[in-house]
Structure 1
Amino acid sequence: MQSTVRTTVSDPIDAVWKVLADHEGLSDWGPGISASLTTPGRAEPNGVGAVRRISTPLPAPAIVEEVTTFEPGRRLSYKALSGVPLRNYRCDVVLEEAGGGTAISYTVLADQRVPLVEKALTKVIAAGLLNGLVRAVRKAD
C-alpha cells in the first residue's frame, strides 16, 4: 500500500536536493525535531547505507532510517529500521524540473495489516513529510 503527495516549488532542483539530502538538516523540517547521521553511507556520507536517527518532541521512540537509493538531484529513498508503527515502512522522494522550479513527489509505502488504517496513516505521514521539506527549502532561501 502506498500514498503519494506532490507539489511544485519555485526553487531549483539543486536547492531542493541540498535540503533533502542533508540528513542532519532534518532538524529544520519541523519544531522540536532532532536528527543525526549515525552511520555514513558507503560511497558518500549521505548516500546509500547512511543511517539517520530522528527524534521528535512526541513521547515516542526515535525513528531510525537507512538510505536505500541516492541519485543526486533526482531521487532519495529510505526505509525504517525502527521507531515506526508501520510494517515495512519506506519512502521514495522524486524531484523533477518544472519550469525553473522543482516538482516534488513524496511516496510513503508500508504493508497493509488493517484496512484503511495504514492507508490513512501513510497519507498523513506523506503530507507531513512533504510540508516539512517545503518548509525547510523555504527556510534555506
Structure 2
Amino acid sequence: MIRATSVRTVSATPETVWSVLSDHEGMSAWAPGLKVAVTRAGTPEPNGVGTVRKVGIGSPGPIVEEVTAFEPGRRLGYRALAGVPLKNYRGEVTLRPVGTGTEITYAVEADKRLPAGETLLAKGLSKVLLSGLVRGVGAGPR
C-alpha cells in the first residue's frame, strides 16, 4: 500500500474549513480547472456518506468518487469508483483545532502496483489537493 500525507495549519476555524471542504460542487472554486457535479446525494446529509460526485477538467467527467466518511467539522473520507489510475484510491481529510485555527491533514492511499510512479502520484495529489483547499478557505498558513 502507498500512503501520502500533507499537513498545513490555517487561521480559519474548523467550521469554516468544513464548510468549504464539504461543499462538493464548490470544489471548482478552490481547485482551478476542476468541475464537480453531485450525481447522487448522501443520506441523511446531502453531501454526506453515500454522496457520489463526478470530477473532471472542464466538465464533470471521468473521475467518480463516493463519500465514505462524513463527520462535520472533523473528517471527510472518499474512495474512487472509476477514472483514477491508482487501484483502490482513497482520500481522507481530517481537521483538528489548533489555537484559533485548524490543522488540516490530507491523506491519500492506494494499492501499490508499480515501484515508484504511484508513490510520487499519491504524494503530488495530497499536496495539490491540500493547497487548493487552503486557497478555498482563504485563510493563509500560520
In the aligned structure 2, how far is the partner of 1:47 from the partner of 1:121? 27
Count of residues in Structure 1 that have an aligned counterpart in Structure 2: 137
Distance between the aligned counterparts of 2:4 and 2:34, measured in 1?
23
- 1:69-80 superposed matches below 5 A: 69-80=69-80
Residue identity matched to 2:94 = V
1:48 is paired with a residue of what secondary structure? coil
Q: Secondary structure at the match of 2:54?
A: strand
Write the deviation string for residues 24-51 of structure 1: whole angstroms up to 9, x where unpaired.
1011122221111110002110000000
CA distance in 2 between counterparts of 1:76 and 1:30 reads 17
What are the within-5 Å matches in structure 2 for residues 84-103 of structure 1?
Answer: 84-103=84-103
Which runs of 5 or more residues in structure 2 are unaligned? none
Give the alignment's Cα RMSD to 1 decimal.
1.4
Question: Can you list the C-alpha shifts for 1:43-70, whole angstroms capped at 9, x where unaligned?
Answer: 1100000001111149xx5211000000
Instruction: Give 1:65's aligned residue.
Output: 65
Distance 1:97 1:35 in 2: 28
Distance apart, 1:132 and its partner CA: 0.8
Residue in 2 that maps onto 1:24? 25
Equivalent residue runs for 1:1-141 within 5 Å: 1-57=2-58, 62-138=62-138
- Stretches of structure 1 that go unaligned for 5 or more consecutive residues are none
**In structure 1, the residue corresponding to 2:4 is in which secondary structure?**
strand
Please list the CA deviations of residues 6-28 of structure 1 after superposition, one character each: whole Å capped at 9, or x if unmatched: 00000000000000000010111
Identity rate, percent: 52
CA distance in 1, matches of 2:137, 2:62: 24
Moved beyond 2 Å, runs of 4+? none
Paired AA for residue 38 in structure 1: T
Opposite residue 118 of structure 1, the aligned amino acid is: E
